Structure 1
């Protein structure tokens, strides 16, 4: 789609921007087209950024490229790499560049100078999950639709003290009409993030990524942000009593992005109405524990966004539980001071008697005071109620067996040595259902860190399609 205003587009759209492009420190403009799709951003130039006598180099890379479109929009392109060039004599030199991301609305000189007052993001499935039902139809006595009315719902606005920020539910409304026979009225639900002072681009993107992960955890679907709007200083070019802030749009590539044509609310692990009264509390806790447990949350949510291979999914879940235990329990085999004293003596001896092995021994001793995976899982299970453990795994003998299955299988997938591993899980079904159990354990742990009662999580596990089907089946396969 050419001749397009990028401000009206979102990350799901494909479009072309015709315009002139230049480097920030240069006055020389080059004609070209910016091609956008969610998988790839390309800038095609009819000419060159270099001197006309320079030979193009595929190593050419520019931090910033400025653009001005035929529709009057300003662009700032970031991390621009040359991919191909072509020259024919007689003919015109052409260059093609890959672009990592770009902002519509201004020519910024550097990323470091960019600061915004607020940001609005529009995640997939958010509207369906909130289930506001803003439209209401009015019918005549024959049940013929006569009009549609918009009902303002009570949108939430929360204060997140950890970030000194307000998070507010908002609506982005699109309408188009042919007054003779057609009227289209659509909305997108988003979140407006307004800090107590201006913040840079990376700060806003980090917060949006964190909120995306929280929604992924709760909704139990891969969440994608399909529109980023940023707002800056008051726009003095607009007259009248109303004051508007300058608006900017942000675009980047999002590979492997798929969206369900219809989102089924029953797919969500937790429905909004079940936590509406405590959602502000949950968001605040999320940002409180995010720094300490970011790796655990990322390992869980990243599984929603990549091609799933059962071995890597199993190992990722194990790693998440191990990392959590290490941070939460800090269990060691020996007192740290005692162990350090022993380790120093062993290393000193090794350097003296077997210097060729000293560095290897020193590396091994770096982890020598860590407890086993078996003990870690036992302690994690010991921190959960009996009912939920029995529902996910089974009674105590089955729990003991499952722990050994995890240990044997993790060791085999790490070292590929079967040895005498009597409880090794080898088939796809065994690994799949073991991973489902691990995911259920991850969810219990993460929700408890967010301040949610275990009984509430247990109820959701029993009544969610994924776990209510997979966990009973896991007992038949694994027990």
Structure 2
């Protein structure tokens, strides 16, 4: 398994995080915390602890209850908040210790600037329990093709080919999602090694508002709806590749923000995406839609509640290979829901 760190953890990679864990956040700074390994794969997240938490066995179901939330402190100083399924799915006993395994629904990992915060870990976790977000960034498969804005440009100097970055002249598209009271804006980052033999780019979308006071859940739900829109118009499955956010910052002398708490979010999901060819969806790219995109998103979110069932059924079928009979039944159900939602007799 590839060795990664906070910066390189993404939803499309598998990785392990070693650290100490407890269901009581005050114990993370004590010797009561239990060492363990959190293993992430897109379709399964498992926490293995070399010991047992204060869990109780359910006499009726024969299961071992687990806390809903487990806190962690990684070997490189990152904070973890894990949401569990509520039971231990495996226990083993070895001479000197026991091994407990937990299925994890999702988790957040935080990069904390402890020196600037000067707070104890329980106080930081208590602050994060409200899921505060200053902004929410997300990227997904084929985002570079969907944004369709080049950040490298070719030129010629003294008869030799040159490649230069075009980030300073990058023209973002910023739209306002009225019924969510959120701004959506695309960003791009270019990087190159010392000899410019290896060029790379990164695109992402950012959700924010004027007050810099958001919560994670509404932002994530909005991002999921945007992803579903792109899936519907492109008729292809798309999965998130990275979700990151800023939870706390402070202003420094030059007017810039110093991040104090940054986070990333991981959850179980399918990955059935297909690479787009460069010209395959040219007419639906952000660059092509530009100013029209705000109006399109406005209609999408205003109708999404009524169309939610149909959209979910359709996008679900994109991520699987259903039988023809299932496709037919799904189409009939969708037509029935559409008729009841938009053509009811008054």
**Under TM normalisation by the shorter chain, which class is it?**
0.7 to 0.9
Structure with max Cα Rg: 1
Partner of 2:179, secondary structure, is coil
- Cα distance change on mapping 1:172 and 1:104 into 2, 3 Å: farther
CA distance in structure 1 between the partners assigned to 2:311 and 2:246 by the alignment: 29
- Residue 12 of structure 2 is aligned to residue 12 of structure 1: yes
Tell me the TM-score normalized by structure 2: 0.83
Partner of 1:113, secondary structure, is coil
Note if contact 2:238-2:272 (Cα within 8 Å) is conserved in structure 1: no
In structure 2, stretches of 5+ residues that fail to align are: 113-123
- Residue 254 of structure 2 is aligned to residue 230 of structure 1: no
Correspondent of 1:132 among 149, 155, 164: 149
Q: Deviations over 1:359-394 (max 9, x none)?
A: xxxxxxxxxxxxxxxxxxxxxxxxxxxxxxxxxxxx
More helix by share: 1
- For these two proteins, the number of residue pairs brought into alignment is 323
- Residue 228 of structure 2 is aligned to residue 213 of structure 1: yes
Note if contact 2:24-2:71 (Cα within 8 Å) is conserved in structure 1: yes
Partner of 2:337: 323
Matches within 5 A, 1:121-270: 121-139=138-156, 144-151=160-167, 152-173=169-190, 175=191, 177=193, 179=194, 183-197=197-211, 198-235=213-250, 241-245=255-259, 246-255=261-270, 257-267=271-281, 270=284
Q: CA deviation at 1:241?
A: 4.5
Runs of 4+ deviating beyond 6 Å: 54-57
Q: CA deviation at 1:2?
A: 6.8
CA distance in structure 1 between the partners assigned to 2:342 and 2:275 by the alignment: 40
Correspondent of 2:134 among 101, 117, 132: 117
Partner of 1:287: 301
- Cα distance change on mapping 1:172 and 1:42 into 2, 3 Å: farther
Say which structure, 1 or 2, has more relative contact order (CA 8 Å, 6+ apart): 2
Partner of 1:87, secondary structure, is strand
- Residue 50 of structure 2 is aligned to residue 33 of structure 1: no
CA distance in structure 1 between the partners assigned to 2:333 and 2:215 by the alignment: 33
Partner of 2:205, secondary structure, is strand
Q: CA deviation at 1:119?
A: 0.6
Partner of 1:292, secondary structure, is helix
More strand by share: 2
- Cα distance change on mapping 1:305 and 1:269 into 2, 3 Å: farther
Partner of 1:92: 97
Note if contact 1:64-1:110 (Cα within 8 Å) is conserved in structure 2: no
In structure 1, stretches of 5+ residues that fail to align are: 333-479
- Cα distance change on mapping 1:269 and 1:39 into 2, 3 Å: farther
CA distance in structure 1 between the partners assigned to 2:25 and 2:14 by the alignment: 30
Partner of 2:118: none
CA distance in structure 2 between the partners assigned to 1:58 and 1:239 by the alignment: 55
CA distance in structure 2 between the partners assigned to 1:43 and 1:326 by the alignment: 45
Cα-Cα RMSD:
2.8
Partner of 2:164, secondary structure, is strand
